[in-house]
Structure 1
């Protein structure tokens, strides 16, 4: 049994707990929130036996791993604290808000010999894995192009994603998914061309990226002030795949080969979707692994570097 301590009690933490119902031999046994009343409510609603009033007491408990679901700027420090306490860490995206902080996390993971993984969910969905199998088998030839994005307007004033003090903005919140997709298929970014907008609160509210990668080109966008479809396209030398909206929770896709023949692919996910990454994480932990071969530290860092470059470009232009 993998015993999880949950740090943070927002919507994503609730989805994580819901997903645990579909993960064999894993359970949430402890929770922490700066507001003990919120932590208690969360624990009661989800049958979690222990509520801790400090990070230190949770990390001193008998949990095997922690799931970090707090605002972005706290991810690195909490990851380091948990690793030093001997706990494995599954941390929500983005893993950190700077490359310096991320490098500090992975250095501690190596020093302590503990498993650390960013909770980047798309590659663990069954449909994404099926798409990978088909592409690796040559179904669309050599992948040379990725197009992806999503935009969602209408966030209420005061939302965390609009708060620069919480490292808000579309790029780190939703754009990092598309960065992952591009890096996953095309490798590290070289030249990055970025256009976009900074909103009145001081965070990026729209970004459009053209990126030259090691193995091709990506076109990505994300936004908080317009509406946009959440489809993705993976283009190859002999066909393409469209992952239908919302591609980061993949359930349906269309594969088109060089002859124009269309094949519909569909695997409806079970649970909250976070159960797939969690199951993989638990398998790694039981096997004594320190890093995921699917969501490696290097892949996390490469996608983060690309996203931060685009954000800093927009912030620099705005200033």
Structure 2
């Protein structure tokens, strides 16, 4: 089964779709077969570069004989595409955020359970070699239960016409950037119990900066995300026996420092290849071959807890998207 080829389709042909296709070349026994985009010309150029055929419609893409679909469109369309693909019997790897709110996510997860197909939010950090090496090292030489997670990223040079600023496409810092930090908090601290948020909305109606202080099952997270201040950050994990710094850019992790209370310092360096998206894709293919319906590294519960944090933060800022 390890050499069974997984046939992929992609909906969307933007920047993240290109990164996925580039990474797919680094994944054994996986190939791109079909692509669909609302605009025919970019889709044709995409397949000329990466292979596969252009489908005339989304329905044709679903019926093209692929095993799995990667959803690389704007997040306002994720839920509908994912539900349709699952109902068509495909496995679905959906770019983050999986949906724009928890109600949509529950609908998608119900479709996955009904179809008995694999669904995973494409949250890349936990699949990087550094992140896995850090988990393995702390299992062998622990610092104790992490009690505080601090992380953030704010990017002030995003073009004004970027989808991150689009209210129509459910943009904003929380869903485009903050969802990464929410993953880190949930992964180390467990489910959120209380989320306190300060921030602001910009001229287009989406959030341009947010700062979250959250109480979790096992501790506290301090997170920030923004589109009008500039500060790419590292991440800090604090525990009774020491602390970990994942150096910037922590969401593409390659270096970490562990400082123990006894004075020891451990440096972890794990370079990555293929742009990084190849690791989550390889994991997803392995799950398909094993007949699994949920990832142990990016389980459905993580996605639910992350989007619950985002929902709470948006509610505090008074941000509601069309149809909510």
Does the Cα contact within 8 Å between 1:83 and 1:109 map onto a contact in 2? yes
Distance (whole Å) between structure 1 residues aligned to residue 219 and residue 254 of structure 2: 26
Deviation at 1:98, TM superposition (A): 1.5
* Matching residue of 1:311: 314
5+ residue gaps, structure 2, are: none
* Matching residue of 2:181: 178
Distance (whole Å) between structure 2 residues aligned to residue 312 and residue 8 of structure 1: 29
State the SS of the aligned residue for 1:165. Answer: coil
State yes or no: 1:192 paired with 2:199.
no
What is the TM-score of this pair, normalised by structure 2?
0.96
State yes or no: 1:279 paired with 2:282.
yes
Does the Cα contact within 8 Å between 2:206 and 2:319 map onto a contact in 1? no
Aligned residues: 316
State yes or no: 1:11 paired with 2:18.
no
- Residues 262-292 of structure 1: CA deviation (Å, up to 9, x unaligned): 2211000011100000000000001111111
State the SS of the aligned residue for 1:164. Answer: coil
Q: 2:31 aligns with which of 12, 21, 27?
A: 27
Deviation at 1:31, TM superposition (A): 0.4
Does the Cα contact within 8 Å between 1:34 and 1:53 map onto a contact in 2? no
State yes or no: 1:126 paired with 2:126.
no
* Matching residue of 1:145: 148
Does the Cα contact within 8 Å between 1:122 and 1:249 map onto a contact in 2? yes
State the SS of the aligned residue for 2:77. Answer: helix
Moved more, 135-144 or 301-310: 135-144
Distance (whole Å) between structure 1 residues aligned to residue 119 and residue 56 of structure 2: 24
Distance (whole Å) between structure 2 residues aligned to residue 134 and residue 214 of structure 1: 23
Q: 2:168 aligns with which of 136, 146, 165?
A: 165
Q: 1:206 aligns with which of 200, 203, 209?
A: 209
> Runs of 4 or more off by more than 6 Å in structure 1?
none
Distance (whole Å) between structure 2 residues aligned to residue 23 and residue 45 of structure 1: 17
Distance (whole Å) between structure 2 residues aligned to residue 300 and residue 40 of structure 1: 33
Does the Cα contact within 8 Å between 1:3 and 1:63 map onto a contact in 2? yes
- Residues 231-256 of structure 1: CA deviation (Å, up to 9, x unaligned): 00011111010000010110011110
* Matching residue of 2:138: 135
5+ residue gaps, structure 1, are: none
Deviation at 1:315, TM superposition (A): 2.2
* Matching residue of 2:243: 240
Does the Cα contact within 8 Å between 1:204 and 1:315 map onto a contact in 2? no
* Matching residue of 1:112: 115
Does the Cα contact within 8 Å between 1:208 and 1:222 map onto a contact in 2? yes
1:91-102 alignment runs, 5 A limit: 91-102=94-105
- Residues 194-218 of structure 1: CA deviation (Å, up to 9, x unaligned): 1111111111111001111000001
